[in-house]
Structure 1
Amino acid sequence: MADNFHDILYEIINGLQDGILGTLKIQKLGKAESEETLRKDPEPMTTLARRRAERKKDEVQHKKKEPKIIQRIVLCCAWNGGISLMSILLFNHLLLPVVQLIIAGIFGGSGSNSVWNWIGPILSWTFSALWILPIFVLSKVVNSLWYQDIADAAYFQYRGKPKQFNISSLIADISFSVLLQALFLIQGTLFMFLPIPAVGQIIGHIHMALLYSLYAFEYKWLNMGWEVHKRLSHIENCWPYFFGFGLPMAVLTSLHPSVVISGCIFSILFPVFIISANEASEPKRICSFPLKVFAPVVALSNAIFRRATVGSTNISSGQSKPGVPPTGKPRKRVGISQYSQECS
């Protein structure tokens, strides 16, 4: 049965609701953490009970040392909003105008314009090189660690212990996923430069909304043991819901032309949407026409990984022909490309 406009709109609104209202679960998490901290055991009466109580105290102290969800969210907001974003806004809207006024007061008239034309860019380049670039790189590393702590803690509280991955499989899965997401980001950005502005903006926002949903839900799906092909096919099959879920972030991060400021806005919002993704009621109804937006980047990622695998095999074995071992038998290709064949 084909989906009509009403069904698609309903799923979009449902995803939008889960994305926004899921942020209210932060208060629930804070209460649960405080109740766990205040919970006390009765005073032990026997030696055995006393020993058990001592072990429980050690476990409680260890849990108190573990990072809390609320603490990590506050740190993300303070770092990305208070340090990164605020420093950029103060520099652009306070420091530069003050310096320009000082130059105008010293040189006056047309002379101040010529002096500002070369002093202004020098100040901006110096600030970008000595402050924005290091902070931006450091933020990527720090935020990734904090995001993982938030996702693991939220998943454990909502669903229990996550499933264990084989280390090699996990590294391969994450490597392929990172490459695919980077290519998908490029694909969505290219659509924004289409000659028809309205169409390009709409397609670009659809790409960004689905990508942000993939970012937010991927933590939960990895803990559930989902491989990359299952994650992508789920988004493509239920694209109206995930478009609605990621739409707020796609809109808010596109309001400012600066990539750095948009990145700061994303970093502030993203921890909240991780919690929303853990609490969201994902759709069980599959759309009758899946949106195969990941198919081009899946094929390209497969080609890149296949070429990299063959190249590394040739270097290690010293062969001139790709994929042929010294015995002359064709080498079996093992790689991430198997994960995404169901999506292409």
Structure 2
Amino acid sequence: MENIKPLIEITRTKLKQASLLWADGFREACCLHRVIVLCHRSRQLLIRTGQCFLLNGFIFLGSLFVLNSVVIPILQWILPDEFSQIGCEEMSEFHGVLKFYSLRGFLIQLFYVFWFYPLYVFSFILSNLWYNDIAKHGFAAMGRSGPSVVESSKQNDALTSHSKVHAARPAGLGGIMIGIGEQVYSVLLLNFFFLEVYATGFIPYVGKALNFLLLSWMYAYYCFEYKWNFSELGLDKRLDFFETNWAFFAGFGSPCVLAIFFFSPLVSYGVMAILFPLFVLTATGTDAEQVISTQRRRWSCAGLGKLPVFYVVDTLLMRVLSLFSLESQEQVQDNKTL
């Protein structure tokens, strides 16, 4: 029992630290007043944000509302499901009419195929282009230029590697190629991570909770990635900082997930397409390093430590890329032999 008590005390302390950092992240994500301040500073930012609201809120979600509240009820009234009030003799007389009534589901599917799915693709592509513009204008409105410095407390081992680190890259073509390579790897990493998030949803009992946690991390990373790109922070430093402060980012991503977790897929997309640029701007205005270091200065013991959030997908992605590398080497050798 004496050996267990210190372990219980350490666990309790770690849980308290994680809860405080999670709460800090959640609070920072909810500071949506920063969006108003940034939009007031930049007219271009206000226009782009308004366009996102118009496309995804008024047009996309508005179309869903019209379909569910107007079109489907009218079709149900004109082409009802049940004909219990019709007798057998009448049923035979109206056999041709019943075939016509069965077209209701087909008409609804046509509505999806020729309106919602094309609108979804159009909205997805255009919104992603606008998100980058929104992040760029928001970053400019913050008055930040050049590589940012990731500040940390020297007394804390978890943040020592980030203390006053400039994300410097080689100048010229080499730096451009490194930047492109990091962007490609980051996109692949997040796609693999999305597959992991999707797979956890099928795990019995704990699947929903794991899915919520991983989605929170994924959206938090998406929100901060724009700022890190404009700050020219290297991919290795991003991942290290993210995994070192996993509790803060889990808290930051939680409001994003709560907004969509209980809706249908199409409604969830529309809601998230509206809210995502707001959270991107909130992340742009968040000094995460300062918030985390302020919280950690209050701790007399060691920090939470690093949690390898991306370890599984990073390992899997490296193996997949190594397979492509081996295939390319074999092709080169075959060409040489020929």
TM-score (norm 2): 0.76
More divergent stretch after superposition (120-129 vs 238-247): 120-129
Q: 1:93 to 1:115 in 2, by over 3 A?
A: farther
Q: Which residue is 2:172 aligned to?
A: none
Q: 1:119 to 1:219 in 2, by over 3 A?
A: same
Q: 1:148 to 1:288 in 2, by over 3 A?
A: same
Q: Hey, what's the Cα distance between the residues in 2 that align with 1:311 and 1:250?
A: 40
Q: Is the Cα–Cα contact under 8 Å of residues 238 and 290 in structure 1 kept in the other structure? A: yes
The match for 2:315 among 288, 299, 304 is 299
Q: Which residue is 2:162 aligned to?
A: none
The match for 1:191 among 184, 189, 200 is 200
Counterpart secondary structure, 1:253: coil
Q: Is the Cα–Cα contact under 8 Å of residues 28 and 286 in structure 2 kept in the other structure? A: yes
Q: Which residue is 2:71 aligned to?
A: 95
Aligned-pair CA distance for 1:72: 0.9
The match for 2:56 among 58, 68, 80 is 80
Q: 1:11 to 1:287 in 2, by over 3 A?
A: same
Aligned-pair CA distance for 1:225: 1.6
Q: Is the Cα–Cα contact under 8 Å of residues 18 and 304 in structure 2 kept in the other structure? A: no
Q: Hey, what's the Cα distance between the residues in 1 that align with 2:109 and 2:75?
A: 15
Aligned-pair CA distance for 1:313: 5.2
- Kindly tell me the number of residue pairs found equivalent between the two proteins: 284
Q: Which residue is 1:227 aligned to?
A: 234
Aligned-pair CA distance for 1:300: 1.2
Q: 1:171 to 1:310 in 2, by over 3 A?
A: farther
Verify: 1:161 aligned to 2:145, yes or no.
yes
Q: Is the Cα–Cα contact under 8 Å of residues 209 and 246 in structure 1 kept in the other structure? A: yes
Q: Hey, what's the Cα distance between the residues in 1 that align with 2:101 and 2:176?
A: 54
Q: Hey, what's the Cα distance between the residues in 1 that align with 2:67 and 2:328?
A: 47
Paired letter, 2:110? T
Aligned-pair CA distance for 1:69: 0.8
Q: Which residue is 1:289 aligned to?
A: 305
Q: Hey, what's the Cα distance between the residues in 1 that align with 2:220 and 2:40?
A: 27
Q: Hey, what's the Cα distance between the residues in 1 that align with 2:122 and 2:326?
A: 34
Q: Which residue is 2:153 aligned to?
A: none
TM-score (norm 1): 0.74
Q: Which residue is 1:340 aligned to?
A: none
Alignment of 1:111-126 (within 5 A): 118-126=102-110
Q: Which residue is 1:37 aligned to?
A: none
The match for 2:111 among 109, 112, 127 is 127
Q: Hey, what's the Cα distance between the residues in 1 that align with 2:254 and 2:101?
A: 39
Q: 1:109 to 1:84 in 2, by over 3 A?
A: farther
Verify: 1:146 aligned to 2:146, yes or no.
no
Verify: 1:178 aligned to 2:154, yes or no.
no
Q: Hey, what's the Cα distance between the residues in 1 that align with 2:65 and 2:101?
A: 21
Counterpart secondary structure, 1:4: helix
Q: 1:117 to 1:248 in 2, by over 3 A?
A: farther
Q: 1:314 to 1:126 in 2, by over 3 A?
A: farther
Verify: 1:32 aligned to 2:32, yes or no.
no
Counterpart secondary structure, 2:259: helix
Q: Hey, what's the Cα distance between the residues in 2 that align with 1:261 and 1:170?
A: 35
Q: Hey, what's the Cα distance between the residues in 1 that align with 2:68 and 2:81?
A: 19
Q: 1:248 to 1:307 in 2, by over 3 A?
A: same
Q: Which residue is 2:278 aligned to?
A: 272
Q: Which residue is 1:212 aligned to?
A: 219
Gaps of at least 5 residues in structure 2 are 1-9, 148-167, 170-174, 297-301
CA RMSD between the two structures: 2.9
Q: 1:170 to 1:101 in 2, by over 3 A?
A: same
Q: Is the Cα–Cα contact under 8 Å of residues 238 and 287 in structure 1 kept in the other structure? A: no
Q: Hey, what's the Cα distance between the residues in 1 that align with 2:239 and 2:100?
A: 51
Gaps of at least 5 residues in structure 1 are 35-67, 328-344
Paired letter, 1:148? N
More divergent stretch after superposition (278-287 vs 297-306): 278-287
Q: 1:155 to 1:96 in 2, by over 3 A?
A: same
Q: Which residue is 2:16 aligned to?
A: 6
More divergent stretch after superposition (237-246 vs 156-165): 156-165
Q: Hey, what's the Cα distance between the residues in 2 that align with 1:281 and 1:224?
A: 13
